[in-house]
Amino acid sequence: MIWNAFHIALREIRRNLTRAFLTVLGIIIGVSAVVTMVTLGDGATESVKNQISALGSNLLVLRPGAGFGPRSRNAPAFTLDDAWAVRDQIPGIAAVAPIRSSNFNTIYLQNARSTQVTGSTDAYFYVNKWTIAEGRMFTQQEYDAGAPVGVIGETVQEELFGPGINPIGQKIRVGNSTIQVIGLLKGKGQVGMGDQDDTIIVPLPTIQMRLLGRNSAHDINVISISAEDGTNSDLLTYQINALMRQRRNLHANQPNNFHVFDTRQIADTLSASTKTMTMLLAAVAGVSLLVGGIGIMNIMLVSVTERTREIGIRLAIGATAHEVLLQFLVEAVTLSCIGGLVGIGLALGLCTVLADLIQVPYAFNSQINLIAFAFSAGIGVLFGFAPARRAAQLDPIEALRHE
C-alpha cells in the first residue's frame, strides 16, 4: 500500500513540476546551506590543524623577546648551552633543535633570489617534520666540520633551478660562500604563515662559521622543541619558563625576555573557534531548513484546498480516507526527500567549488549528509501531516461539489 501511495504521489508530482519545484526550493536551499557550512567548516578546522601540525610534531618554539614583533629586538639571544639544558633538564622532551637562521642572497647561474637559510642540527628535520624527497641530509662529519653543504626546499628548487635541472650536486652561491646542494626537501606547501618551502637547511656550524660574519655568530635565534606524545603542554611550558628564567638570571620582578610558543595549544584554540563558528553558521542554515519545511506545509495546505475536487473524485471511486492521508503524506515526504537529495547534490558542487576558492581541504562528510537528508524527510512527515489529515477528513459529497 505504501508503494501504491508512492506511485500515486509521484504521478501527482509529475503532473505539476513547477509547483513541486517551488515547494521544495526552501528545502533545497536549507539542506545545501547546512551541508555546505558544516563541510567547509570541517575543512577549515582541518586546515588549521594541518597547518599547525605541518610546523612540527608536538612543537614548542622558544624565542627571545616577550612576543612577536619589535619587543623581541633587544632581547638577548640564546646560546647552544640553553638548548642542551632544555633537552637534558626537562623531562618529556623528544628532541631539541637549536636554530640560527638568516636571509641570504642566493644565486645559481643567472637566477638570484633572497632565501631564508636555517642552520641547525639533524634533530631539526625531526622536530619540524621535514622529510628528504631526493638526495640526503648532512652527515655528522659534515656537521662537525661545518661543511658547505645544504638541503633546499621545493620553492628554492623551482625558483633557482627551474624544471629539468637536478639540483643535487649543484653548487649555489649563498651570501659570500658557495654551498653544495645535497638534498631536496619534500614540500609542505603554502601554509598560512608563509611559504615553508622557501628554505635552505645547512649544518649549524656552517651558517655560524661560513655564512655569517664573526659578529654574534654563535647566537641561537630559536630553539625548536619537540615534546613527547601525551605530555602536558602547560606543565612543559611552565618548566621551560622556569629553566630559562634561571639561566637568564631574571629576578622575580622582571618579566620574561623570551617566550614559549606552543603550537598544540594554538591548534586547539583555533580549531575550537572554527568549530564554534561552523556550528553557528550551521544553526543559521538550519533555520532556513525549518522555513523550507513551513513552505512545504503552506503549499500542501493550499494544494489540499485546490485539489478538494480531486480528493472527492478519489474518495468516490473507492479510495479510503486512510489512502488519501497516505497519498498526501507520501507526497510531502517524497517532495522533501527529493528536495533533500537535490540540496545534497547542490552542496556537493558548492563545496567542491568553494573549498577550492577559499583554499580549505574538502572532505565528504557522510554524517552531515545523512543528518540533513533525514532531517528533510522528517520535515516532510512533520509538515505534511496536517494537510494530509485535512485532505483525508474531507466529506466526499462536499468535496465533489467544490468548485
Residue ranges in contact with another protein by CB under 8 A:
1, 4, 7-8, 11, 15-16, 309-310, 312-323, 396-397, 400
Q: How many C-beta atoms lie closer than 10 Å to residue 401's C-beta?
A: 11
Q: Supply the minimum distance, in Å, between the C-beta of residue 322 and another protein.
A: 7
Of 191, 218, 185, 226, the closest CA to residue 62 belongs to 226
Maximum CA pair distance of the chain?
A: 106
Q: Supply the minimum distance, in Å, between the C-beta of residue 347 and another protein.
A: 33
Give CA separation, 399 vs 98, 315, 396, in Å.
87, 9, 5
> Considering beta carbons, is residue 202 or 315 the nearer one to another protein?
315
The Cα–Cα gap between 403 and 396 comes to 13
Q: Supply the minimum distance, in Å, between the C-beta of residue 16 and another protein.
A: 7
Of 253, 221, 188, the closest CA to residue 54 belongs to 188
Q: Supply the minimum distance, in Å, between the C-beta of residue 338 and another protein.
A: 20
Among left, alpha and beta (phi > 0; psi -120 to 50; other), residue 162 is left
Q: Supply the minimum distance, in Å, between the C-beta of residue 393 and another protein.
A: 10
Residues 6+ apart with CB under 8 A from 294: 26, 383
Cell output for 113? 633570489
> Considering beta carbons, is residue 61 or 311 the nearer one to another protein?
311
> Considering beta carbons, is residue 70 or 318 the nearer one to another protein?
318
Q: Supply the minimum distance, in Å, between the C-beta of residue 394 and another protein.
A: 12
Of 218, 219, 238, 217, the closest CA to residue 227 belongs to 238
> Considering beta carbons, is residue 3 or 70 the nearer one to another protein?
3
The Cα–Cα gap between 127 and 325 comes to 67
Query: Are the C-beta atoms of residues 221 and 75 closer than 8 Å to each other?
Result: no
Q: What is the DSSP string of 74-117?
A: TS--B-HHHHHHHHHHSTTEEEEEEEEEEEEEEEETTEEEEEEE
> Considering beta carbons, is residue 262 or 331 the nearer one to another protein?
331
> Considering beta carbons, is residue 270 or 335 the nearer one to another protein?
335
Residue 79 amino acid letter: T
Q: Supply the minimum distance, in Å, between the C-beta of residue 305 and another protein.
A: 15
> Considering beta carbons, is residue 315 or 372 the nearer one to another protein?
315
Residue 256 amino acid letter: N
Q: Supply the minimum distance, in Å, between the C-beta of residue 377 and another protein.
A: 24
> Considering beta carbons, is residue 264 or 314 the nearer one to another protein?
314
Rg over alpha carbons for the chain, rounded to the nearest Å, is 33
> Considering beta carbons, is residue 315 or 344 the nearer one to another protein?
315
Q: Supply the minimum distance, in Å, between the C-beta of residue 401 and another protein.
A: 9
The Cα–Cα gap between 119 and 79 comes to 14
